[in-house]
Every structure is written in structure tokens, then in C-alpha cells.
A and B are shown apart, each in its own frame.
Chain A
Amino acid sequence: MDDYEIRRNIWEGKIPVEFDFDTREFTSIRSPQSYFAMLPRISYFPLCLSKALKFLSLSVDEDIDVKDVWLEYNGQILKWHYPIGLLYDMHVADVTLPWVINVRSQNHPDELVHPSKDTMRHIFLQAIKEADQLKHRGQVISSMTKDEHNRLFDSVVNNKFDDFWSVNKRLMHDETNKISYIPIRFYEPGSPFKQVLISPSNEDDSPCTLENAIRKALPTIDLSSYTVISQGINVPLNTPVIWMARNLSYPDNFIHILLRKS
């Protein structure tokens, strides 16, 4: 059931990004500037902006902090509390790389969460707790120390696969406690995610597949006109969701599924 190769590949997946700073937003630069970076799919933009902003700060001769900016692609605000890989799958319909993102500094949207490390830590840990609540009624996460919770987040910040899994393997351990529900969220572009209670087995005891789960969450969907993506790949609809929970989850322990009209 557990696939080390897949877990490792998911952790190491990266997206080439070009951060663009233009003269209308940053009036003290004389010409548009760009900063290129390879960002981990499993990380979050507010945790990955420091080098790009340091570069910009040199050009404008003042310190630009992550709270001074926000990110936009194709006229849309990037919800930076979502993992980078999920945002890419959500916003970029065709494969044109690098992913060109506009860094904005004015008209800061009120609907965005604040990009402080503390807020990112809170949101990440709230998701992990909720995922464990679904899987194990919260028993595993409540048996861990605050230090272990923080190690889960810090290992994402520092990109340390082994540190992460040394704690996460306990959240993935299901032998004695049968898993109650699968942590899974469904996204359609332009909408907040849909989340419903999904059991690992169907009523007839067959394993719940991705297709079964989608139909439970979105009963009226016509799947033939959609592409179903997670972690940048088209996931076969007959994949058991319990396998996905163990191998295709993001570090927040949720499976994030993107449904895009094809």
C-alpha cells in the first residue's frame, strides 16, 4: 500500500516560477524586473518569497517584506495559503513554463489571509488536525507534542523529507484504528473547496474510488467533461481513495483534487 517512490517524488516536485515586478506597482524601479525560482509544489508562496523580495529590495533601495505584496496570475489573486502545486494545477491550464506571476504591492485584497509565517503555521496545523480528526477522531494528533506538530510545519519550510515523515508516519498509521473518513477536498477553479465525509469503503464494502468520492461530493457533475488532477497528474478515476490518502496527500494530510472543465 505505501509507495516510498511516489511519496518521495511528490515531495521533490518543483515548478519553475518567474516573479515579475513592474514599474506601475514598484514606482522606484526604472524598468521591469524578474526573479526566477524553482519552487516546491508542496510548499507555500509566503514561505518562498524571501529571496525574490531581497532581490527587489536591492533595486528599490528599501526593504520589501512579504506583507507588503500579494501575488496575481492572469488577473486572479493567488490564495497563498493553498500549496503551490495546487495553485499551479488550478490556474495554469496549459503547460507554459516558467509560471509567470505578477508581484503586486497596491490595492491589497482584503480577502487574502496574511502571509506571516505564524498564520501559515496555524492554517497548516489546522488542516493536519482536521485530517486526523477525520481519519482517527483526532487520537493520533492529540497524542503528539506541540514540538512534533511544529516539526511537521518546519520540515515543509526547510524542505526536509525525512524529518517530515519521521512524524507524519504516525498520522499515516492505520492498523489498529480503522480509518473513519478520508481527508479530501475538491476544487473547481473560482470556487472555495467542497469537503464532505467520505468513507474509505462503499456501502457494499468495495473500496471507495476517486470517482465514487467525486460523485458523493458533487452529485450533479458530468465527469466526462472534466479533467481530474492532483499533484500535477491526471489521476485514474478508479484509484482507491485510501491509497491516495497514504501516497498522494500533500503534507497537510489532505488529498487536494482539482476538477477542470476540459
Chain B
Amino acid sequence: MDPWIIHKNNLGVWAEQRSILDNFVRTCSITYNSAYGVPVLWFNLYDSDGQRITLGSETDNTTLQKLSVYKNLISENEHPCLGMAFYNLHPCHTEELIKLLSNEKNYVIKWYSVVHPYVLLPSPPLNFYKEA
């Protein structure tokens, strides 16, 4: 189980996790979006040469093919603390989905249970919401 590490810089706080799966390196990041008041999940996949993988392009890889099913919920943007391109799950959709699962306790767990199937993440960063 790869650990989530909390980072801070002058732009904000984020939780980061790096894992090796199949033949990819996956970097995940959770930031807090103050406009929507929700956490946002960011991720990138890197191949064995350390190159960032473009999602949505033709591929023989079954993991990437599975991920492309969710392409309408995923898009690319700039990570607000790192200033680099990452894929994210749209924060506006997160809010709608959270309302459907409404229960004030364990907000982050509920949110996490919604997002994790899309990127096959192992375990939630429980400390993150306290820091944010």
C-alpha cells in the first residue's frame, strides 16, 4: 500500500501518492478546490521510459482501454500547486455525485468511494481533509 504524503507550498496543500502498477507508474494527487468546496483528484500515468501517457489515444493496453470508458468525466488541466498538466475528475460532477450520497460524516471517504473505481486507487488519504 503506497503511502499518501501531504505536501504544502505557497499555493496550497495537496496529498500525493505514487504507485507502480503493471508496467506504469501512477502519480495521484488530491487538491482542494475553493470555488466548488470539493476535493479534486488528479492523476498521471507514466510508461517504463518515464514518459507521460496520453489518455484517449489508440492503445492495446487493457487498463488504458478501461480508463477511456470514463473519458467524459476526465479531462486535462494544470495542477494548481505543481503547475504541470494532469488528468482530473471534473469537480462540478463530484459535487452532483456527492449530493446523491449525502451524509455529513466521512465526507472524504464517501467522495473517495465515488472516484476510486475510475482510477483503481487502493486506499484513501484519511489525513488529507484535516489539513485542507
Binding site for B on A (CB under 8 A): 79, 81, 110-114, 119, 122-123, 126, 129-130, 133-134, 138, 181, 191-197
Contact = CB atoms under 8 A, between A and B. Distances in A.
The number of chain B residues touching the other chain, given as a range, is: 20 to 34
Contact of B76 (A110, A113, A195): A113
B85 interface: yes
A181 B37 CA distance: 13
Contacts of A134: 35
A110 B81 contact: no
B54 interface: yes
B92 interface: yes
A130 B77 contact: no
Contact of A110 (B79, B80, B85): B85
A171 to B, nearest CB: 15
Contacts of B83: 111, 191-192
In the A-B complex, the 7 residue pairs with the closest CB atoms: A192-B83, A111-B84, A110-B52, A122-B75, A113-B85, A133-B35, A130-B35
A129 B36 CA distance: 10
Interface in B66-92: 75-85, 90-92
A134 to B, nearest CB: 5
23 contacts: A110-B84, A111-B84, A112-B85, A113-B85, A114-B76, A114-B85, A119-B75, A123-B75, A123-B77, A126-B90, A129-B92, A130-B35, A133-B92, A181-B35, A191-B11, A191-B83, A192-B78, A192-B83, A193-B80, A194-B10, A195-B80, A196-B34, A197-B35
Contacts of A194: 10-11
Interface of B: 10-11, 33-36, 51-52, 54, 75-85, 90-92
B54 to A, nearest CB: 6
B51 A110 contact: yes
Contacts of A195: 34-35, 80
B54 A114 contact: yes
A114 B34 CA distance: 26
Given A110-B51, A110-B52, A130-B36, A192 B76 contact: no
Contacts of A130: 33, 35-36, 91
A119 B85 CA distance: 11
A122 B76 contact: yes
Contacts of B36: 130, 133
Contacts of B10: 191, 194
Contacts of A81: 77-78
A81 B35 CA distance: 20
